[in-house]
Amino acid sequence: MKNFLFGRPLPSERLEHERLNKKTALAVLSSDAISSVAYATDQILIVLAVLGTAAAVNYAVPISAVIVGLLILVGLSYRQTIFAYPNGGGSYTVAKENLGTGSGLLAAAALLTDYIMTVAVSIAGGIAAIGEAGGGVLLYLAQEGRGIGLVNKLRAYQLQDAGFDTVDANEQLGFDADERVYLPAAEMLRQLGVTGVRLLTNNPDKVAALERYGIPIVERVPHVFPSNGHNERYLETKATRSGHLL
């Protein structure tokens, strides 16, 4: 059904040769901006609703004007970047070359913050699910960036900012799509006396890895949380390239 609606995933070797016409590209790329604006607007409306009707009436128009202004600035910025870097230019590269090293580092810090917030959403969702189940075990494995480390993850983010997806970015840096090892997790569970788990994950590789190391998976529990404009492409890549069950 997915292939019927969206078409087959594009092979990696064809990505750099694939081009969209302006009409199609506008519809595809605009969805990211629209979803991001809708997400932010939703949060603003929640705050205004708490403050009351008077606040909503007084602040709705000026806040809307600011959002429209920001969209115009972002649109102009994207337009300039496309003309100046026809082969792709990530935030770090553009900021460093035009505004200096400090601005480049600020852009890199923003990418790191985005990474931290993405992880935080996943952990918060996991903790909530464990709480609803009445208890559980949360394991931390020091394998940031799917096992490539934070520094290399920042390099991968720069590649993603230039158009690569999360899988191709890892491979461009010389790594496998996923470098994580789950033997330590299996050993921690054994040390805790856990003989079987209901595993909270969307990744079938985690299920297979733990079972391979002797931890029976009683049930795979889906990890469900809403997508937004910042992570839609990332989640789509996980589903189509890494086989995640989203």
pLDDT per residue as tens digits for the range 184-196? 888 999 999 988 8
Residues tagged active-site: 178, 180
What is the predicted pLDDT for the residue at 22?
67
What is the predicted pLDDT for the residue at 18?
57
For residue 124, is pLDDT > 70?
yes
CATH of domain 123-246: 3.40.50.10990
- SS3 per residue for the chain: CHHHHHCCCCCHHHHCCCCCCHHHHHHHHHHHHHHHHHHHHHHHHHHHHHHCHHHHHHHHHHHHHHHHHHHHHHHHHHHHHHHHCCCCCCHHHHHHHHHCHHHHHHHHHHHHHHHHHHHHHHHHHHHHHHHHHCCCCCCCCCCHHHHCCHHHHHHHHHHHHCCCCHHHHHHHCCCCCCCCCCHHHHHHHHHCCCCCEEEECCCHHHHHHHHHCCCCEEEEECCCCCCCCCCHHHHHHHHHHHCCCC
For residue 236, is pLDDT > 70?
yes
pTM of the model: 0.47
So where are the chain's domains?
123-246
**% residues pLDDT > 70 (the chain):** 73
Average pLDDT over the chain, rounded to an integer:
76
Question: Can you tell me the mean pLDDT for 191-207?
Answer: 87
pLDDT digits (tens, 9 = 90+) for 31-67: 655 655 555 666 677 777 777 777 777 887 888 888 7
